[in-house]
Each structure stands twice: as C-alpha cells, then as structure tokens.
A and B are shown apart, each in its own frame.
Chain A
Amino acid sequence: MSDTISLSRRFGSNSGQPVTRRDGIAKVTGSATFSADNHPDSLLYAVYATATIARGRVTRMDTAAAEAHPGIVLVMTPQNRPPLQGNPDDKPTFFSQRIEVLQDDTVRYAGQPVALVVGETLEAATEGARLLNPQYAMEKPRTGLDDAAAYTFEPAGFGTPANTVHGDVEAGHAAATASVDVSYTTSAMYHNAMETHAVVAKWNGDKLHLELPSQALTMTCHSMAYFFGIPPENVTLSSPYLGGGFGSKAFPIGPYVLAVLAARTLDRPVKLALSRNQMFGPVGHRGATRQRLRLGIDDQAALTVIDHSGLSETSTFDDFIEPAPNASQGLYKAGALRSTHSAVRLDIGTPGPMRAPGEASGSAALECAMDEMAEKAGIDPLEFRLLNYAEIEPGTGKPYSSKALRECYRQGAERFGWAGRPLQPRQMVDGDGMLTGWGMGTALFPCPMFMAEAEATLRPDGTALVETSAVDMGQGAWTSLAQIAADSLGLPLDKVEFRAGHSSLPDGGVAGGSGHTATAGSALHAAGSDVIRQLGELAAADPASPLHGSGNAGFVARDGLLMVEGDDSRSEPFADILARAGGVPLKGSGRGVRPPEAAEAHAMHSHGAVFAEVKVDSVLCQMRVTRMVGVFAAGRIINPRLTESQLLGGMIWGLSFALHEEARHDPRTGRIVNADLAGYHVPVNADVHGFEAITVHEDDPHVNALGIKGVGEIGTVGSVGAIANAIWHATGKRIRRFPIRIEDLLTA
C-alpha cells in the first residue's frame, strides 16, 4: 500500500497541496503503534494508587494485602522507594515541572501518586493498587480561587509571566467618556487527550529505552538521564504517534519516573498507562482564572485603555500561572495597555500549558469585554473592532511581520452573513421559537519558533531520506513536514523517506506553541537546501555535466532535476550527477531557528475572526451553537486539508471552553468529582453543526524563510468570546463565568 491516497496528478510544489495523511493507512488499520501498544517480552504492568484527598498525609496503606495478592511483584511506597540519582525536586530542563515520585507521605492534591504496584498482569496490578486502601490525616483543602490569599510574583522563567504596561494607564482611564469594568471567571480544564499518558520502559544494563508519547523527545531524554544518573545518550525514546497532546505531553511526569524505576529495580520491562481518572492528576491542566477587564473609550469610540488583570490558580509546590491578561497585548489599538498577573496557591496539581495557554482564557474575557464596550457605545461589535484596528503593534510600536486580519473580518462577515445583524439583543427568533443570536470575536496567537535540527541525504538513486525527531500528535507532522522536505530537495513526495518520532534522530525540538511546523520545517528546508547546494557544486565543477560552469547563475531543484536558475533547458537528473561523483550519498544538515534580530524587528502573530450563531430555548435555556465561521491568516499554509482540521478542532475547543469543560472539586475532600468523560464534558459529534474554517492568503517574509506561522492553537482563541457574545445577543444576558451554564441563564 502506498502512504497516501492519490489525488489527481499535482503540478507545482508539494507545499500547499491538500495531501492526505501519510500515516493515514497505519491509523485506519490499527497498525499505528502508540506507546502503550508495545509489548516486550517478560513485560510487567504498573498501576499507581492515587490520593483521594487533596491535603494532608497518608497515615497507612495496606501494603501487606497488596503484596499478598497473586501476581504482585512490587509495592513501592515512600518507605521503600529506591533512590533516584537526580533530585526529583529539581527541574532538569527549562520547560520542566516539579514531579511526584513518592518523595514523602504528604498529599498535596487529589490524584497525586501515593504508591506504585507492579504485577505480572494488568488485572493483578490494578487489584493490588486498589487493595492499598490509603488512610489519611486530612486537612481542610483549598481548591477555590477564594480559598487562599492572592500573591504577586517576580517573573522567573517558564510559567511565571511578567506584568506588561504600555502608556499611561491612569490617563487612559481618566480620558474615557464611557467605560466597562467587568470580571470574568474561567474554570479548571483538563487536556484529556484520548490516549492517556503511558510509558513502556526497558533497561539494558545502564541503557534505557522508552516508548513514551512525548511532545519534546530530546528534553524528555535529558530529564530521564538526569533522574537516573546516566548520560543522555544512554536514553532512547520512541514516540512515532501521540494520541493527542495539547500541551500535556511536553514534560516527563512523576509516574513515568516511577515506572522506569520499577523496571530498573525488577530488571524487567514495565508498562504503565494512566487511567482516565488519573488524567485529572499530575499531567497539568488549564488553571482556573478570575479576570478583571477595564476598558475605556473616548467620544469617537477609540479605546483609551485596556486594563486587564488576572488571578490564576497554581499549586502549593510549583508555579504555572495561566497568563490570561497577556491576551490584551498586541491586538487592539489603545491609548494605554496593562496586563498584570497574580496567583493563589491551592491544593491542586500544578497547572500547565493547555492549548492556547493564556490566549484562550484571556481572549474569552477580552472579547466579551469588547462586546460589552461596543454595546455601551451603541456600535456594531465588528465595526467597533475595526475602529480600534491596530496597524502597528500597540504598545511596542513594532510593525507586524504581516497582518491580514482586516481581510479575515471581511471574509468572515460576508461568509457568515453578519450584515443586517440587529444591534439590540433578543431580536431574532427562528421558526421553532428559539432565541437566536450572533456574536463574534477576534483571534490572535503569537508565532514563536524554537530550535530544531534536521539532516537530509540524497541517495544515489535520486531518492532522499530526511530525518528529524519531529512529533506528530495529530497536527499532521508526518505529512506536512515531508511536504516541506520534498520541496527543499525538489523531489516528489513519494521519493522522500521521512524518519521522525525517535530520539536518535537530529533534535526536532518541541511540538508546542504552534511553532513545530515553522521550526522543524525550517530545519528540514535548510537541510534539503544544503544538499542541493552541494549537488550544485558537484555539477558545476564536473565537465561532463550540462550544468558545468554555471555555478554563478545558481541552481534550482525540481522534480528530481537540478537546473540552471532561469534556464530550464539546462538540467540534469540528481542521480546522474551523483553517479559520476562516485555514487555516494550526499548529506546535508540544517537548523530551524529565528535569528534574534528578525524576532526583534517585527511583531509576529497569526490572526483570525470568528463568528458564531447560537440558539437558546427561551424556557429551558438550553444552548446550541448552530453555526460557526472562523477565518484565519496564518502565513503560508503547507497543507490546507490538515490546516482546516486543526482550525476546526481549535474552534470546537472554543465551543468546549464556552459551554462544556469544567473540573469541579468536592469542597470537603478537594477531590475532583467529575474526573471522567461522563462527568467532564467535551464535545461529541452531535454538538458540532455548521462549522467552517477558512484561511486567507498571507505572505510573511519575516517569520521564517518559509513564511509559516502556525495553526495549532489560534482556532480556540476568539471562538469562546464569539459564542458568549452570541448568547448575549440571543438572550440579552451577560454571563460572566465559563463554561456558561443553563442555570446561569435561568437565574440571570
């Protein structure tokens, strides 16, 4: 079987083509191997027991009962946990979070691992963990934003954002002829990738092999090497497919380390897969926030100030502050801009980055506040945004590297049919008597690049191998990165073998921040270009080549031919050039990184405009999103098919944020009472009607050589506000906490 289903013959480059997924056949036949699908010989199963209270100490566990259970080979508790070589309270890499590895008997959140049980079968290990039946000395848990005192903090790297002020904020407030001052709250949300976190760990002497779904292979290997006191090159990690990541699989988690430790202790491979319930534990989450937005406008409806402050939850033992107020930077022209952060320490697992961390929560509040401001000004919400459209980045004054937001607004409004929308709420009723409302929101997401390396090898037969430890967690790296690599080599896609997803390959960097295609893609592009440059040197110096002596004119590679730039009549197949040069492969390498001066010179963001229609039952207050149109400008689109799916997925995450997701704590124990997919609601197929995602053309010569921005997260931004604003437009009610609940509409 070929990798992809063939479409009609393609002309031109690979990039920009809606190629079907190269991993498609593996995924529809069940042959794509996810981490927990691995089953090495003499495998043991590990299951960990979790704390069912949020604060206190474990006073007793029935280890004897667990040990006596048939098939149990190890019960690991804080009393007998073998030592680690690295301090588990350290953070071995910049993007790290403090891990839970049975350091002591303290319980700091519900869902924390309190023991690890290893058995010959999954059934035995599961039963063994259950038999432990932990007893506790419980203290009153703090799980709500008002349960502890708020504090401010100095920024100290990852997870602790800095306050940002541009202009004279007090003057901006004073200059306002109208203002809004509103508070919005957002709930704790959990990533809940369909694949739960899992590891299969196998030691061979002091070498460790991991089957582990990772968004950052190299960093994960370094962390593991640190904890186990072995050189990083002794750790290999295979992660060809992730069953979803969304930010939760970027860091090694404590249970992984415990499973690896058990494998070393027992000298047998160990598999550990979290239960769904445990996905509400030590894997990060989007922290709850309470945000205050103060906006002011002058008599021309120009914003005089956007003043955005946020209170975010974090854990008692580490820092990750959902940087929601930052969403107010970079978007609307305003006389003054202020984003300030504060936090509260609660008895919860440490929050972490979850798809559009900060942008999603912050945009939810900002876009609703903008709608409230537009209402107060008596102006259509789209017109209000256009009145405050920023031609240069507000605050910094930097030019945008590109910004086709105006076009997004235009196309979105037209496609949705925004014109003629009544200004007042509660004006539209459909044929079934449903209150109907239309709302919109703007989307902004930065386009960062990290660092990645890649290698490309042109083989004597004219095919190529390209390699980087890139990550496909569903965004489509197997396909889109191969398209970029094929273009860099001037080869059709089926002549390029792409190896990724293994730590032994050149460092593909981190799949996060919507920057993976830009970063790993740039590395592949550089590696391929390096090969073609070398091939050109060979041909130019070879008297037998039709390209001999034309090195000054430069070469281009297309369809397996090297040709003189601007003169297609002079060309030669790659294989012929290589054959005369001794028939040895040609190897090139490249890095994907944004030069600091380029990053300094421009403000770099993706943009979008989202329009939503909501219908609300006037009696029951049941809400349905019936239509949603998102239009996005995100630089060059490598694969429109995959991009549409990313953007739609992001918009559905916006729907989920607005109407579904919320982890609720039992105030007595601090335990999350809905820690499963029945109680923790995410959208199902029947929730998704009439969604459309459109991209507009955008050339960006500054972000990177390929003009790629990124599409992984921006779909969520703007969508939350669009839905909430549509609910207001349908009902006349402003609900200022997410998710919006039926009872809120009933009682408002």
Chain B
Amino acid sequence: MSLSLSLTINGAARDIPLDDPRVTLLDLLRERLALPGTKKGCDRGQCGACTVLIDGHRVNACLTLAATLDGAKITTIEGLADGESLHPVQSAFIEHDGFQCGYCTPGQIMSAVGLIAEGQAGDDPERIREGMSGNICRCSAYHGITLAVQDATRRMATAEKDDAA
C-alpha cells in the first residue's frame, strides 16, 4: 500500500511517500522525517507533549493520522525560531524558567503559540492556566510557564502595535 502525501513542514514543501496508513503525524515526524523535537508523552492525547500547529491551530500530533493531512501546513518546534533568533515564546520560557527537564517543553511552547494566536486568554493568568492545561508538566514548572506565556503575549502584542505604527 502506498500513499503519497504533500505537506508543508516548517515552511518547506515535502512530498512524502507513506507505505502505512497507521502512521500518526507524531511518528511520521519523529521516526520518518528526522524531526524528533516533537515529543511522545502518552500517544493518546492526554498530555500535550506532541502539540504542533496544523494550519495554525494547535493539535495533538499523536491523535492525527498522517494520511489525513494531505496539503496541510505543519509547524513544529524545530520551525519556530527565525534562524538564530528565538521566537518570543521560546525566549520567555528560558527567562521565566518555564521548564525543568524540557521534555514537555516543545509541546508547551507550540501550545502557547497556538493559545496566543487564538486570542482568548490575553495576559490574564487564570485564562492562561486554563488554556495551557492540556499540556502536562510533571516537573510542575507551571509557575514559570504561566509567567512566560503572559510575558510573551504582552511582548508580541507590543511588537504588533509597533509594526502597525
């Protein structure tokens, strides 16, 4: 069985031959496309470690069959920084120490980028906590995660305003 798949991953168009319909987006990225930055924490949509953006929306890659994604635009943690320049969410996670072991971090950061784009939480810490609760951090660096998302939200809003001006 062979399925051909066209994806745009981190801005690059890729034609991906797929020989197995069981392959999830997560395993496609990790085991077949050499993009292991996206992590597997539970493989059933309960922990958020595998969060990526599909067409701008945050999605659990472990619950998404690759074969259903023909034509989709995927952004993973590897595609977030602009060269040497970190995305504001990435910088904020370092400055506010929003992680310990770093295993859930790619998912936390992609989820935060998605949350900020959704525009529902703003910089309200309670809404950020709620909006980030699909991403488990067993080290429990939640305090830093909340501060990081709040700070990045503000910085991105300021940058947007500056751009518009």
Check if B101 sits within 8 Å of A195, measured CB to CB. yes
Residues in A whose Cβ lies below 8 Å from that of B64: none
Known contacts A123-B27, A275-B43, A691-B143; A244 and B138 CB within 8 A of each other = yes
Q: Interface residues of B: mostly helix, strand, loop or mixed? A: loop
Known contacts A244-B139, A685-B135, A686-B129; A21 and B97 CB within 8 A of each other = yes
Residues in A whose Cβ lies below 8 Å from that of B43: 275-276
A396 located at the interface, meaning its Cβ lies under 8 Å from any Cβ of chain B in the complex? no
B95 located at the interface, meaning its Cβ lies under 8 Å from any Cβ of chain A in the complex? yes
Q: Whose C-beta in chain B lies nearest to the C-beta of A476?
A: B100
Residues in B whose Cβ lies below 8 Å from that of A646: 100
Q: How many chain A residues touch B (Cβ–Cβ < 8 Å)?
A: 65
Residues in A whose Cβ lies below 8 Å from that of B47: 194, 276, 677
Residues in B whose Cβ lies below 8 Å from that of A677: 41-42, 46-47, 136
Contact of A30 among B31, B78, B99 (CB under 8 A): B78
Check if A241 sits within 8 Å of B27, measured CB to CB. no
Known contacts A645-B97, A691-B143; A30 and B103 CB within 8 A of each other = no
Q: Whose C-beta in chain A lies nearest to the C-beta of B83?
A: A1
Residues in B whose Cβ lies below 8 Å from that of A276: 41-44, 46-47
Residues in B whose Cβ lies below 8 Å from that of A473: 101
Contact of B37 among A4, A30, A122, A683 (CB under 8 A): A30
Check if A122 sits within 8 Å of B31, measured CB to CB. yes
In the complex, per-residue mask of A674-686: 1 if CB is within 8 Å of any chain B CB, else 0: 0011100011111
B141 located at the interface, meaning its Cβ lies under 8 Å from any Cβ of chain A in the complex? yes
A648 located at the interface, meaning its Cβ lies under 8 Å from any Cβ of chain B in the complex? yes
Known contacts A244-B139, A684-B136, A688-B143; A28 and B90 CB within 8 A of each other = yes
A470 to B22 Cα, complex, angstroms: 39
B162 located at the interface, meaning its Cβ lies under 8 Å from any Cβ of chain A in the complex? no
A646 to B38 Cα, complex, angstroms: 24
A462 to B136 Cα, complex, angstroms: 43
Check if B78 sits within 8 Å of A29, measured CB to CB. yes
Q: Whose C-beta in chain A lies nearest to the C-beta of B24?
A: A123
Contact of A37 among B30, B140, B145 (CB under 8 A): B30
Residues in B whose Cβ lies below 8 Å from that of A273: 40
Residues of B122-165 whose CB lies within 8 A of A: 128-130, 132-146
CB distance from B87 to the nearest CB of A (A): 8
Check if A29 sits within 8 Å of B90, measured CB to CB. yes
Contact of B109 among A28, A122, A678, A684 (CB under 8 A): A28
Residues in B whose Cβ lies below 8 Å from that of A32: 102
Check if A685 sits within 8 Å of B101, measured CB to CB. no
A642 to B22 Cα, complex, angstroms: 41
A1 to B20 Cα, complex, angstroms: 39
Check if A195 sits within 8 Å of B103, measured CB to CB. yes
Residues in A whose Cβ lies below 8 Å from that of B143: 645, 648, 688, 691
Contact of A5 among B84, B95, B104 (CB under 8 A): B95
Residues in B whose Cβ lies below 8 Å from that of A645: 97, 100, 139, 141, 143-144
Residues in A whose Cβ lies below 8 Å from that of B142: 652, 683-685, 688
Residues of A111-159 whose CB lies within 8 A of B: 121-124, 127
A32 to B94 Cα, complex, angstroms: 14
Residues in A whose Cβ lies below 8 Å from that of B104: 194, 243
Check if A20 sits within 8 Å of B94, measured CB to CB. yes
Contact of B95 among A20, A36, A642, A682 (CB under 8 A): A20
Contact of A649 among B40, B100, B133, B134 (CB under 8 A): B100
B34 located at the interface, meaning its Cβ lies under 8 Å from any Cβ of chain A in the complex? yes
In the complex, per-residue mask of B76-109: 1 if CB is within 8 Å of any chain A CB, else 0: 1110110010100011011101011111111001
Check if B41 sits within 8 Å of A194, measured CB to CB. yes
Residues in B whose Cβ lies below 8 Å from that of A246: 138
Q: Kindly state the interface size class of chain B when it binds its partner.
A: 35 or more
A60 located at the interface, meaning its Cβ lies under 8 Å from any Cβ of chain B in the complex? no
Which of B41, B80, B81: most chain A Cβ within 10 A?
Answer: B41
Residues of B28-83 whose CB lies within 8 A of A: 30-31, 34-44, 46-47, 49, 76-78, 80-81
Q: Whose C-beta in chain A lies nearest to the C-beta of B31?
A: A122
Which of A26, A124, A244, A641: most chain B Cβ within 10 A?
Answer: A244
Which of B42, B49, B86, B128: most chain A Cβ within 10 A?
Answer: B42
A682 to B136 Cα, complex, angstroms: 8
Residues in A whose Cβ lies below 8 Å from that of B135: 684-685
B5 located at the interface, meaning its Cβ lies under 8 Å from any Cβ of chain A in the complex? no
Check if B103 sits within 8 Å of A243, measured CB to CB. yes
Residues in B whose Cβ lies below 8 Å from that of A27: 99, 102, 105
Residues in B whose Cβ lies below 8 Å from that of A195: 39, 41, 101, 103
Check if B101 sits within 8 Å of A241, measured CB to CB. yes
In the complex, per-residue mask of A186-203: 1 if CB is within 8 Å of any chain B CB, else 0: 000000111110000000
Known contacts A39-B34, A123-B22, A678-B46; A242 and B101 CB within 8 A of each other = yes
Residues in B whose Cβ lies below 8 Å from that of A686: 129-130, 133
Q: Whose C-beta in chain B lies nearest to the C-beta of A639?
A: B97
A735 located at the interface, meaning its Cβ lies under 8 Å from any Cβ of chain B in the complex? no
Residues in B whose Cβ lies below 8 Å from that of A617: none
CB distance from A559 to the nearest CB of B (A): 25
Residues of A643-702 whose CB lies within 8 A of B: 644-646, 648-649, 652-653, 676-678, 682-686, 688-689, 691
Residues in B whose Cβ lies below 8 Å from that of A124: 20
A306 to B40 Cα, complex, angstroms: 46
B23 located at the interface, meaning its Cβ lies under 8 Å from any Cβ of chain A in the complex? yes
Give 8 A-B pairs besides A37-B30, A194-B136, A196-B41 with Cβ atoms closer than 8 angstroms: A20-B94, A20-B97, A36-B30, A244-B103, A276-B47, A648-B140, A677-B47, A684-B133
User: What 5 A-B pairs are tightest by C-beta distance, nearest first?
Assistant: A30-B37, A243-B103, A474-B101, A474-B100, A27-B102
